[in-house]
Structure 1
Amino acid sequence: MKSLNFNLKDRLTREELVKFLLWFKNFCIKQWFFIVLAIFIGIAKAAPNFARQHGLIRAEYTIGYGAVAVIFLQSGLSMKTRDLLKNMGNWRAHITVMVISFLLTSSIMFGLCSAIKSANNGHIDEWVLVGLIVTATCPTTVSSNVVMTTQANGNALLCLCEVFIGNMLGAFISPALLQMYTSNSSWSFANPANGNSIERLYGDVMKQLGLSVFVPVFVGQLIQNLFPSQTKWFLTTFYFNKVSSFCLLLIMFSSFSTAFHQHAFESIPKASAIFLVFFNIGIYLFWTGICFLCSRPFFIPIIFKEKPTTESSRFYTWSYKFFKPFYYNRRDTICIMFCGAAKTAALGVSLVTAQYGSQFEYLGRLLASLVLYQALQVITAQVLVHWFKKWEKKDHPEDAPGDEEMAKGGDQASHNDLELEENEEDGPLKVKLKQRPHQVEGV
């Protein structure tokens, strides 16, 4: 009898162990992004010289160009050329994203940092606040928002256009904004006032965009149009989108390595570090909310409730045509929320070092704000992806663009495009061909 009880307990123990191991396996598959990120941060802390800028593997080339190029090669292989060109003509979305990315976010951050500085709290380092202002003046990130928009079923075609436009303009606008904000008497100590270094910054940014963004997208578009069936097979078989997510982790790995090498996190007080973590998460969510409000103004459906008819006045008809497209569909809204709130560390690091110098004594404190925001925005965005994905699947009549807007390219349409879909049980993303009227299935 005792032997029977022992065997029964032993079997139950084995079954519980198997069940736990199965749960742990599924957990690791679903949360692989955060697990690998934690591993990379640990490696960056232990060996910062390995993946830092100008380090052992020359990360400014191998990761800064190579990893980013892989992400945009995947975008080029996945996106229809005609839809990409249509999205380039979506001037309303471009204006919305640029206003949010450069004007709204930077002015809000400047106001908040000025208020914090005026409180004279000795625990919050003033150079950390300068780093936050520098971060807010940066354009949208080059790679992470493309990956996140794709995963959330947003308009990745439009997102790709915003990356092009935002970073090209950012090379000129970001230094000008920083000069403007630091010309204030309260921030004059942080004014770099070194215009000669900006010329090199422009060259570096154009080189980065050309080699790691434009060329890979062009090559991907060329391959996709010449070998469409083979391209689909390649994306499906090798889960190339997962490679893009891993490349995003490599970019963050390089940023953390550079920050640890510069002693960015050691040079700031602990209170400032804790403040940075919670403040960055809060400001990212706040900016995301602003992006949503700007993308779907509540008053537009109220004012323009009905489509104009032959009996409508000319003023109403023209106002409808001009203002109604500013109420974006859900896929465009997801793109704008990711692009408007995101800030690039690639251009930000170049901006800081170009204006303040690579040997600047407070460089670590400036980089800490930038690198932490990049990491926290990606982590927070990964959580938001699942909510945005569910929200996008809900069909609402007001989200479908009209025929006139479709013809003009105001809302991009594609009847057949590649879509990434995540299998919650198995983990890997699958690429499939999906039919959906009136919307682009961008990847």
Structure 2
Amino acid sequence: MFIVGKWFFICLAIFIVIARFAPNFARDGGLIKAQYSIGYGCVAWIFLGSGLSMKTSRIMANMANWRAHLVIFALSFLITSSIIYGFCTAIKVSNNKNIDDWVLIGLLMTAACPTTVASNVIMTTQAGGNDLLCVCEVFLGNLFGGFITPAVAQMYTRNKYFQYGNPANGNSMQALYARVMKQVGLSVFVPLFVGQLIQNFAPRITKMYLDFLKRYHLKIGSYMLLLIMFSSFSTAFYQKSFTSISHISVIFLCFFNFGCYLLFTAISFAVARPWFITKLFPHEPIPGTSSKLYTWSYKIFRPFYYSKRDSICIMFCGPAKTAALGVSLITSQYGDDKEHLGKLLVPLVLYQAIQVLTGSFFVPLFKRWARDEIEKYDNDLVNEKSQENISDISNNSLDDTASVTIDKKTEILDLENNPLKTDISNDSSLQSMIKSDV
């Protein structure tokens, strides 16, 4: 049972070994053209499943949650990147020759990347968090990340310590934006939209598909995530990323990324549930008693104290960095200057692996922490579905009653207009129908 419970990590280890000895199979531009088959296909399948299982009204409601978008954007692009920048500057100033200079640039590029496309959606769903909000954050974060990431990278590499790694290249920016729009559009927006269409116009097919996955315990999202990581490691091994830097740098990156992910998760929790908000606003405004200042302050600031389910989403989205889109962002920024590309990608690939492994251990902890809200949410969904079923049954019964009434009235009119048919005076039911109509 222990092995069955850890199947994801065992499969990931197997895929990493395969990527080490056969990197050409699943690398970008390799045998299976992973930049399309995995970079687009696997990610698209994840969001197609999200589109099939999520109510349109709930998605739109979460899309309008501007406070959560603001918090996650600040965490993803500013807070995490500024902390990494501070650490990298300290390492650079210390003149530690064991840490490669281009590894530090790779860390800065990783920190500037948007939230990951697949793993945070899967883990948020498994932990019982607000997966609808998570899908919205993935879409918006990666859509705007194509513009924000290069700007953040420019801001940090203009410093005198990192000018050697400045990726400024006017010719590559237009191609970068086009590639980002294509990636996000085809792998996130289109499958999500198609899933919503199928859910609303073919609900029976949708229910059959979801029941099939549930019956046989198929975890499509986890399978696709394994393939995405397999492709990332294959690309890194093919470009000799791990052999282009010292073993000390690799070991440093593993521990550094692990520590940063834990730190970012703790910061995300503190930002999602700031303790002072509950102290400042312990209760809802009381009409006629609470001041206008308290009332307006409560409406503005109290929503920044998020529910447990929303907090789970924030704790997975805030620290996470995308490898599926991050590789494209990094390679596109440096254009044809690919001499140090392998070193630049090592921090990103390792960070992705560490965030998935660490996040997987957080899933049961977060699920246990938010158990009360998860149970309430599940009960609300059950009640909502039961109400829909009752509504459908009542509508069907009304339709049947109306159909019977129309048939009866038609029969009455036929009898009245045709004296050769049965005398209606002998039919008490028809006679009572006529009286009721009159």
Say whether the fold is shared (TM-score over 0.5).
yes
- Code of the residue aligned with 1:271 in structure 2: it is I
* Residues in 2 aligned to 1:108 and 1:126: alpha-carbon distance in whole angstroms: 18
1:115-134 equivalences under 5 Å are 115-134=90-109
Q: Which of the numbers 277, 287, 291 marks the counterpart of 2:268?
A: 291
Q: Are residues 159 and 257 of structure 1, via their aligned partners in 2, closer, same or farther at CA, if it must alter by over 3 Å?
A: same
1:406 corresponding residue in structure 2: none
Structure 2 spans left out of the alignment, 5+ residues: 388-438
Cα RMSD between the aligned structures? Answer: 2.2
Q: Which of the numbers 292, 306, 313 marks the counterpart of 1:314?
A: 292
1:22-61 equivalences under 5 Å are 26-61=1-36
* Residues in 2 aligned to 1:56 and 1:46: alpha-carbon distance in whole angstroms: 14
The question of whether the paired residues in 1 share the 8 Å contact of 2:309 and 2:373 is answered with no
1:384 corresponding residue in structure 2: 362
1:201 corresponding residue in structure 2: 176
Instruction: Choose 222-231 or 245-254, whichever is displaced more.
Output: 222-231
Q: Are residues 434 and 336 of structure 1, via their aligned partners in 2, closer, same or farther at CA, if it must alter by over 3 Å?
A: farther
* Residues in 1 aligned to 2:359 and 2:104: alpha-carbon distance in whole angstroms: 23
The secondary structure found in structure 1 opposite 2:258 is helix
- Code of the residue aligned with 1:336 in structure 2: it is I
Q: TM-score, normalization: structure 2?
A: 0.84
1:334 corresponding residue in structure 2: 312
- Displacement after TM superposition at 1:413 (Å): 11
**1:187 corresponds to 2:165:** no
2:243 corresponding residue in structure 1: 266
Structure 1 spans left out of the alignment, 5+ residues: 1-25, 401-411, 419-432, 436-443
1:81-120 equivalences under 5 Å are 81-120=56-95
**1:252 corresponds to 2:234:** no
* Residues in 2 aligned to 1:417 and 1:118: alpha-carbon distance in whole angstroms: 58
**1:231 corresponds to 2:196:** no
1:338-377 equivalences under 5 Å are 338-357=316-335, 360-377=338-355
The secondary structure found in structure 2 opposite 1:341 is coil
1:211 corresponding residue in structure 2: 186
- Displacement after TM superposition at 1:238 (Å): 2.6
* Residues in 2 aligned to 1:351 and 1:206: alpha-carbon distance in whole angstroms: 11
* Residues in 2 aligned to 1:95 and 1:88: alpha-carbon distance in whole angstroms: 12
* Residues in 1 aligned to 2:61 and 2:46: alpha-carbon distance in whole angstroms: 21
- Displacement after TM superposition at 1:76 (Å): 0.6
Query: What is the percentage of aligned positions where both structures have the same residue?
Result: 60
Q: Which of the numbers 104, 118, 139 marks the counterpart of 1:143?
A: 118
- Displacement after TM superposition at 1:235 (Å): 1.4
The secondary structure found in structure 1 opposite 2:325 is helix
* Residues in 2 aligned to 1:413 and 1:391: alpha-carbon distance in whole angstroms: 16
- Code of the residue aligned with 2:281 in structure 1: it is F
- Displacement after TM superposition at 1:359 (Å): 5.4
Q: TM-score, normalization: structure 1?
A: 0.83
**1:415 corresponds to 2:380:** yes
* Residues in 2 aligned to 1:271 and 1:290: alpha-carbon distance in whole angstroms: 28
* Residues in 1 aligned to 2:211 and 2:11: alpha-carbon distance in whole angstroms: 23
The question of whether the paired residues in 2 share the 8 Å contact of 1:83 and 1:413 is answered with no
* Residues in 2 aligned to 1:338 and 1:190: alpha-carbon distance in whole angstroms: 29
1:66 corresponding residue in structure 2: 41
| CA deviation vs aligned residue, 1:405-434 (integer Å, no higher than 9, x gap) | xxxxxxx9993279xxxxxxxxxxxxxx89
- Code of the residue aligned with 2:275 in structure 1: it is F
* Residues in 2 aligned to 1:102 and 1:241: alpha-carbon distance in whole angstroms: 34
Larger Rg: 2
Q: Across the two proteins, how many residue pairs are aligned to each other? A: 384
- Code of the residue aligned with 1:258 in structure 2: it is T
Q: Which of the numbers 257, 277, 294 marks the counterpart of 1:300?
A: 277
- Displacement after TM superposition at 1:229 (Å): 3.8
Q: Are residues 203 and 434 of structure 1, via their aligned partners in 2, closer, same or farther at CA, if it must alter by over 3 Å?
A: farther
| CA deviation vs aligned residue, 1:221-251 (integer Å, no higher than 9, x gap) | 1111123343233212234760111001100
| CA deviation vs aligned residue, 1:254-289 (integer Å, no higher than 9, x gap) | 000000001000011010000000110110110011
* Residues in 1 aligned to 2:270 and 2:301: alpha-carbon distance in whole angstroms: 15
- Displacement after TM superposition at 1:48 (Å): 0.4
* Residues in 2 aligned to 1:262 and 1:44: alpha-carbon distance in whole angstroms: 12
- Code of the residue aligned with 1:343 in structure 2: it is K
* Residues in 2 aligned to 1:147 and 1:56: alpha-carbon distance in whole angstroms: 27
- Displacement after TM superposition at 1:395 (Å): 5.4
- Displacement after TM superposition at 1:314 (Å): 0.4
The secondary structure found in structure 2 opposite 1:36 is helix
Q: Are residues 102 and 434 of structure 1, via their aligned partners in 2, closer, same or farther at CA, if it must alter by over 3 Å?
A: farther
- Code of the residue aligned with 1:416 in structure 2: it is L
Q: Are residues 230 and 417 of structure 1, via their aligned partners in 2, closer, same or farther at CA, if it must alter by over 3 Å?
A: farther
- Code of the residue aligned with 1:209 in structure 2: it is V
The secondary structure found in structure 1 opposite 2:162 is helix
The question of whether the paired residues in 1 share the 8 Å contact of 2:106 and 2:344 is answered with yes
* Residues in 1 aligned to 2:261 and 2:60: alpha-carbon distance in whole angstroms: 30
* Residues in 2 aligned to 1:241 and 1:87: alpha-carbon distance in whole angstroms: 27
